[in-house]
Structure 1
Amino acid sequence: MTRAKLSRRAAKSSAMALVAAVLIALAGVLHAHEVRPAIADVEVGAERLSMDIRLTAEAMVAGIDLAGLDDTNDSPLSGYYDQLRAMEPDALRAAFDRAWPRIREGLRIEVEGVPVAAQFADLRIPEVGDTDLPRDSFLTVTAALPPGEAPVQVGWLAAYGPLVLRQVGPGENELYTGYLQGGALSDPLPRTGVAQVGALTYFGRYVGLGFTHILPKGLDHILFVLGLFFFALRLRPLLVQISAFTVAHTVTLALAVLEIVTVPAAVVEPLIAASIVYIAVENTLWSRMSPLRTAVVFGFGLLHGLGFASILGEIGLDPARFLGGLIGFNVGVELGQLTILALAYLMVAVWFGDRPWYRARIAVPASLVIAATGGWWLVERTLL
């Protein structure tokens, strides 16, 4: 066998190995127990702090270290975590009460660097539902603040995962939002009124929120963008598709956040999965850009915009800075998408894009993997 043939065979083997690696990686997330940020609304008074936290109580009770973790199945304590998910509210509450002394140590409330002890006030646990999905419980804690007017900082251990912290004031007006990771503390929260954040800082925070919603959290959106990438390597078709997708999801993101358009997640999420299947299957049938493909991508972009709006709706936007937060979040989403495309180009197109067998050996198999994953999600989100 000639050296040229050996070289071509080695290249093809490497390409197929790359597709296989993608398949293995995706197979590992089919039953993912996604780690989501907790959301806390904190009200700071002259003498007392009160905080309502929506969280996954099972993870705290199990003692899972969520720092840098995307899937609780990756934790050695995942078995115990799954048992807790299946517990009735009273049994889980008893387990939480036993774990509370340890959990409380991880809650950080500080005044001028001095810790203030958190006090348990209430825990509301819903009935057992779909044990394949996280169960949201609602924890209320309070703290007696020392005399004076010094502001308060709030956070928790990195092991508890990311925390969206919102300071609310009279009438539940919200003017501060912090996305806290790695055990970080919030900005100083005043005891009268709410913390004011500079416009540039506020904008930057929402850029970060949009980016992390794509990387690493938005696997369904990642697969859709990769489906666009594997359609054709030529620049024009890719730009047309990405532009149509971006314009569409920007429109519905704004409409959904403004509550002009409201579609339940139970409808949106299966349709997003279906969009992944359609785009990926179409990749295996055609490779030429057409007005129909552009229209389909635009339509699916409208769906994905509704998906983006769900996380932004949970976090909330300062009404006085609504436009800045919305634009910042959308910029973060776009940067996430461009990062995906850049990585795909560097990992795939640079090495194999000019090979005559690229479409048959790379684009089509990768699209089939994407379609299979989207198909599983469609079944999971509608029937399971």
Structure 2
Amino acid sequence: MFFKIFIFLLFFIQSSYAHELRPAIANLNIYEEDNITNATLSIRLNLEAIIAEVDINHSNTKESKQSDKYESLRNMSAVELLEKFNSKIKNLQNKIYLISTNSNYNLVLLNIDIPGVGNTNVARDTIVDFDIQNIKDEDLKFFWDKNLGSIILRVNSPNNEDLYSKLIATGKKSDWFNPKNKKEVDFFDNIRSYTHLGFKHIIPKGLDHILFVLALFLLTPKIKPLLLQVSIFTLAHTITLFLGVLNLIKIPSVIVEPIIALSICFIAIENLFTENIKKTRPYIIFIFGLLHGLGFAGILNEIGISDGLFISSLISFNVGVELGQISVIFLSYVFIALLFQKRLWYRNKVTRPLSLIIASIGLYWFIQRLFF
């Protein structure tokens, strides 16, 4: 029975993790030429998902009816994919909007940078560059078609100052911003956005972090030892989240991600051989927590944080992460501990089998991230 569950979870979690639909990232870079304000719009996006018209209401491509078409496109070379996209270029341009109260600016395609096939288990990031000419000194608003999903917008001045940054939800528009003046972001709106972002990167997107927290929970559902483990983990990943975002510590994701997978495997395997917290476990959790924090920092560095609200954004994101972890523990407690922890067979039929499943998934991820 548990072997069947393991096979199902392994397939489901791996598919979800590898084919996750992430927000696109748009950089609107303002520049001056002969006293005329122009801009380049550089968008990092999932070109295969756009061509296949994958429904963005799904969290990953495997859930979509267009999954087979997406997989076929994902296995194409850069040249083949570009040929497929050529017929869709105009369609994409017509779905991206930079507007003022008086006009709608035209986007002219400059360049498309499509990487090679690489690891087909991971989404391929394509960069599409547009040119926008003769931007007036007026407030602007950016958005794109709701069928293209969410997008992170960054507006950069000619001297590379962050004028405006915003995570624009599906079907929403940016605030009004000026191409020459820094936009003051609403404090409470910013807190709400980054708290939601932090929560979302645990539930549903942080499957590796969810499994790590579940592995901590499975050793013992008793409140005191559980709180000890989670508190140590929280302290550790908070430290490296702050240090990582401040660029005071930098470890490449090719090192961090495999070790995060290994941490899941290690903690889950330890659950198989002990019922109590060993003296070494808190130290091990702390070390692995530091690495998980670097994973969170990588997410925030990719998205970017407005300079004016740096600390509040960082704290809000971390609060969102904690709320996600608390939700995982709460649901585990309600649906596992309250129902089964007093049963004589709890350890043999719940803790050990589930820990074995988690350890197997962690090992699978470790091998995949290290060698593929």
TM-score, scaled relative to structure 1: 0.88
Per-residue displacement from partner, 1:31-56 (whole Å, max 9, x unpaired)? 43122221111246886553211112
Q: Secondary structure at the match of 2:219?
A: coil
CA 287–115 in structure 1, closer or farther in 2 if over 3 Å, else same: farther
Per-residue displacement from partner, 1:75-105 (whole Å, max 9, x unpaired)? 2222222222233323222221211122233
Q: How does 1:83-162 map to 2 (within 5 A)?
A: 83-112=72-101, 116-143=105-132, 149=138, 151-162=139-150
Which residue matches 2:28?
42
More displaced stretch, 234-243 vs 32-41: 32-41
Partner letter of residue 373 of structure 1? I
Native 8 Å contact 1:56 1:136 kept in 2: yes
The count of corresponding residues between Structure 1 and Structure 2 is 366
CA 244–303 in structure 1, closer or farther in 2 if over 3 Å, else same: same
Does 1:167 pair with 2:155? yes
Per-residue displacement from partner, 1:240-261 (whole Å, max 9, x unpaired)? 0001000101111111112221
Partner letter of residue 151 of structure 2? L
Q: How does 1:279-318 map to 2 (within 5 A)?
A: 279-318=267-306
- Distance in 2 (CA, whole Å) between partners of 1:124 and 1:82 is 20
Native 8 Å contact 1:167 1:194 kept in 2: no
Partner letter of residue 359 of structure 1? R
Could you tell me which of 233, 239, 243 is aligned with 1:251? Answer: 239
Native 8 Å contact 2:30 2:158 kept in 1: no
- Distance in 2 (CA, whole Å) between partners of 1:327 and 1:307 is 16
Which residue matches 2:8?
24
Q: How does 1:1-384 map to 2 (within 5 A)?
A: 24-31=8-15, 32-43=18-29, 48-65=38-55, 67-112=56-101, 116-143=105-132, 149=138, 151-384=139-372
Partner letter of residue 118 of structure 1? L
- Distance in 2 (CA, whole Å) between partners of 1:145 and 1:112 is 15
- Distance in 2 (CA, whole Å) between partners of 1:220 and 1:61 is 29
Native 8 Å contact 2:13 2:207 kept in 1: no
Partner letter of residue 107 of structure 1? I
CA 359–114 in structure 1, closer or farther in 2 if over 3 Å, else same: farther
More displaced stretch, 26-35 vs 329-338: 26-35
Per-residue displacement from partner, 1:172-215 (whole Å, max 9, x unpaired)? 22243211222111111223213211222222222122111111
Q: Structure 1, unaligned stretches of length 5 or more? A: 1-15
CA RMSD of aligned residues (A): 2.3
Distance apart, 1:147 and its partner CA = 6.0
Partner letter of residue 47 of structure 2? A
Partner letter of residue 348 of structure 2? A
Q: Secondary structure at the match of 2:43?
A: strand
TM-score, scaled relative to structure 2: 0.91
Partner letter of residue 80 of structure 1? K
More displaced stretch, 301-310 vs 199-208: 199-208
Partner letter of residue 122 of structure 2? L
Q: Percent identity?
A: 37
Distance apart, 1:120 and its partner CA = 2.3
- Distance in 2 (CA, whole Å) between partners of 1:161 and 1:226 is 30
Native 8 Å contact 1:56 1:137 kept in 2: yes
- Distance in 2 (CA, whole Å) between partners of 1:242 and 1:113 is 54
- Distance in 2 (CA, whole Å) between partners of 1:199 and 1:167 is 18
Q: Structure 2, unaligned stretches of length 5 or more? A: none
Native 8 Å contact 1:248 1:298 kept in 2: yes
Partner letter of residue 352 of structure 2? V
Partner letter of residue 201 of structure 2? H
Per-residue displacement from partner, 1:239-293 (whole Å, max 9, x unpaired)? 0000100010111111111222111111111101100001111111112123211
Q: Secondary structure at the match of 1:203?
A: helix
CA 357–258 in structure 1, closer or farther in 2 if over 3 Å, else same: same
Native 8 Å contact 1:44 1:189 kept in 2: no
